[in-house]
Structure 1
């Protein structure tokens, strides 16, 4: 059966799930797979060559975070970083404040900690998806030890007021962690301005390799290591360092810093806005001028989450995939799940609207021609669904 998709014409619009390696990243990693393959903890020449690559990568991450090199800890990615912040700081009797729109790496860790006597307050967002800092302040108790709030939401792209929350944490003596996995490379980073004690990023969200990430851990923060068994990373994360991955992460981060300064991110926002406006203007989609989920709150430049009124989002997702357009119904970590997005539900959407919403997240390398292709395909897919579903056709006409 033909899918209506010619070879080479697929358009990938699921960057918030993962991104491809940029050629410069592959080139940076290649020597550390073959020629400079040593263990960075070994003191012979082969080990020291690997150590040099590791040290240079740490310098790059320190510049990216705006912190001291000693405050950079390499790990396996965002999930490990998020888990480290919670399990490494919280003890029975402590109180955690987080939000109901966090990634599952935070929410599931919090649920597990509740079994060990850690109490959690889940702050709900406003309908726009924004967290009100005053709601964080109201939730603080004498036993509050940690506040954890994401920088950019993975489903809506909404940017949270982390600097304001950081000031609240400082004023009240709480530790503050930021899950910055989706914000990395899309907004300018400065952990001092954010006011956080811990911050997590992941390589594969910034055109780097999968299975590698980094944390900022402010000096003096008493976070315990999740993984023990060696003196790696100044005893903060045991295990032989993945030097090729770390070097690739550093190169991706270096390119991300340039993309913020050279106008790439501004260009990306413009293409996202064109895509968004084009979809909302399409006749017969049933959108009726409804704004995307998360708008008018400030959002990451590459993300839009759009409600297709009276259409089943899963059916449209499949229809677009068959036509060569890769999008998402929500977090990739919940692929195959039948429940609607917890993020959209927390924002006050009913189940029908949450199920009828799709996320378009653009790569930094997206072209205007690809945007035009999506704007050609979406109405075709919607029209086919209307034809197949007389009930939907009646409600959309």
Structure 2
């Protein structure tokens, strides 16, 4: 019997929910009409889009008309940041944002816009102190991710929102790693803008949403038809929208049980490594359950990844979007890791499909791999 993979890279993408897949299929096969059309054949597709919008809004405490469907987190982030060009905003963001924020910020700067980067401490917590003397004259937006995609640190989002609003800044959060995995109520938090991506919470790839508070005005990133109340042109991806809504509701409904399960599996993995005498550093603080960034000083994270892959265990060396780049990530640099430590970093992100036995096998495999790599190092020096 062929051994199955142990998939532990859920921050890169997650397995599509069976319920989401079942809900999507009719809209590929039979209910394929364009929801914007006026004839009766379109009504069921249009209704599905509207119901999906209601479900998603309810899951994050928003109003239905505040949900804008997009192609994913990257588009949602670009939608927000590129409005700094259209609206002459100052941008305040952090050194550890995803490139879907950082790259548009570079474009804003290249066109003469103002972008200010906040430092983070060794745990990846944003520090606003270096902006205090400049903030009074700013007009624009602060964008800080809710959960870092490489080290799993949850930001003190409430205090950051208060800081932004006290200084007349709109607050946006890239919540791609957070939505469906931690409780979010946009009204209670007073968030102005929030980005999400379906495939991070067991939905389909290629679809996401942007929450936009009714009082916030954005120029459309995509112009054309009048879809999404004029906020985003293009025919809606009806099957994907339906699947996203079902997957998010499923995750939100089971949130507490999933968090408890992942925390238990995470503890088993860490305890197993410690019992085997493995030397490692866990990066970050106040982590999303099941999110582990582990550094093994003196070793190569890339080599660990490939050797785990041979054992059919799937992990990452950092942000999946940078998987072709073997240099130290900007996040690990920003938290001040020494090169020797940073190069030995892997990211293990557990999901609802993982088991306690998976955690034990991952720990056993890492221990075995490091022992073999140590022997190889010794032999090469001899």
The TM-score bracket by the shorter chain reads over 0.9
| Distance in 2 of aligned mates of 1:100 and 1:75 | 25
Q: How does 1:43-58 map to 2 (within 5 A)?
A: 43-58=38-53
Q: Secondary structure at the match of 2:163?
A: helix
Deviation of residue 47 (structure 1)? 0.8
Question: For residues 192 and 135 of structure 1, what CA distance do their matches in structure 2 show?
Answer: 29
CA contact (8 A) 2:301 2:346 kept: yes
Provide the secondary structure at the position in 2 that maps to 1:132: coil
- Aligned partner of 1:286 among 253, 257, 279: 279
Paired residues for 1:318-337 under 5 Å: 318-337=306-325
- Range 263-272 or range 355-364, more displaced: 263-272
Residue 348 of structure 2 is matched in structure 1 by 360
Q: Residues 65-84 of structure 1: matches in 2 within 5 Å?
A: 65-84=60-79
* Deviation per residue, 1:219-252 (Å, 9 max, x gap): 1211111101100000100000000000000001
Residue number among 274, 289, 297 corresponding to 2:268 in the alignment:
274
TM-score (norm 2): 0.96
Deviations 1:305-346 (A, max 9, x none): 111121111111111111111101000100110210111110
Structure 2 match to 1:227: 222
In structure 1, the residue matched to 2:331 is: 343
Q: Residues 281-312 of structure 1, C-alpha deviation per residue, up to 9 Å, x if partnerless?
A: 422x333xxx4011xx2111120111112111
Q: CA deviation at 1:191?
A: 0.8
1:40 is aligned to 35
TM-score by length of 1: 0.92
2: CA distance between counterparts of 1:232 and 1:138? 42
Q: CA deviation at 1:193?
A: 2.5
The answer on 1:176 being equivalent to 2:186 is: no
How do 1:114-125 residues align onto structure 2 when only pairs under 5 Å count? 114-125=109-120
- Following superposition, the deviation at residue 376 of structure 1 comes to 2.0
Deviations 1:108-144 (A, max 9, x none): 1101110111111111111111113555655524133
Structure 1 unmatched ranges of 5 or more: 1-5
Secondary structure of the residue aligned to 1:33 is helix
Q: Secondary structure at the match of 1:147?
A: strand
Residue deviations 1:58-110 (CA, integer Å, cap 9, x gap): 00111012111010000000000000011124448532100000000001110
Number of matched pairs: 382
* Cα gap change, 1:118 to 1:29, in 2 (>3 Å): same
Kept in 2: contact 1:95–1:141 (CA 8 A): no
CA apart distance, 1:8: 3.2
Q: Tell me which residue corresponds to 2:376.
A: 388
Gaps of 5+ in 2: none
CA contact (8 A) 1:152 1:182 kept: yes
Cα deviation, residue 393, structure 1: 9.0
Matched, 1:306 2:294: yes
1:111-260 residue pairs with structure 2 within 5 A? 111-134=106-129, 137=132, 140-260=135-255
- After superposition, give the CA deviation of every residue in 1:318-377 in whole Å (9 maximum; x if it has no partner): 111111111010001001102101111100112221111111001112111211221221
Alpha carbons 2:67, 2:211 under 8 Å: kept:
yes
In structure 1, what is the Cα distance between the partners aligned to 2:299 and 2:293?
Answer: 15
Separation in 2 of the partners of 1:278 and 1:138?
A: 47
The question of whether the paired residues in 1 share the 8 Å contact of 2:119 and 2:128 is answered with no
Matched position secondary structure for 1:150: coil
Matches of 1:329 and 1:12, distance apart in 2? 14
Q: Which moved more, 1:308-317 or 1:125-134?
A: 125-134
